Amino acid sequence: MALERFFGRYAYPDAFNQSFASFRNATYDKYNKDSNFGKVLRSISELRVYPHSSWGNTDSVPITLIVILENRNNREIKDREEIYTQVKSNVDKIKWVYPFSLHEEHGIHVAELIDLTALEYLNSYPLDLNSISYARRYTERHNTHQA
């Protein structure tokens, strides 16, 4: 918690970070590409994770990935099902490090912020993969300097 207060983000367990390394790399590689997954990434406002047990549980920590979308008018891909499919195909490539896994029934939740309850939002943790926020800032800065 001290790290979270200092850096403004939750300090995830190492095994969780190792699990998400491939997804982080995929987001970084595809964010600026003209691929379907690149368009999906640019349609996402925020990624959050909800652990279905304590982060420190050594038996099992099933995770739900909450994909919060930009407003429909601001998305490159409007169809939620297409976004879900693209995200799922990349999440399926994650090699989960014990005790973490994708929740069997509620592994990926795609929604706009308005669709979430306050409880869903507050009980989840921001998953800043660095690549999404960095890529967004880089793209905005790069496009501003070229204009």
| 12-45 pLDDT tens trace | 888 988 888 888 877 777 776 778 888 888 999 9
Q: What angle do CA 76, 107, 66 make, to 5 degrees?
A: 45
Domain ranges of the chain: 18-141
Report the share of the chain in percent with pLDDT over 90: 50
* CA–CA gap between residue 49 and residue 23 (Å, rounded): 13
Tens digit of pLDDT for each residue in 116-138?
999 999 999 988 764 444 444 44
Q: Which two tokens stand for residue 18?
A: 């190792």
Choice between 17 and 99, residue whose per-residue pLDDT is larger: 99
Residue 103 has pLDDT above 70, yes or no: yes
pLDDT of residue 147 exceeding 60: no
The C-alpha atoms of residue 96 and residue 104 are separated, in whole angstroms, by: 13
How far is CA 140 from its chain centroid? 20
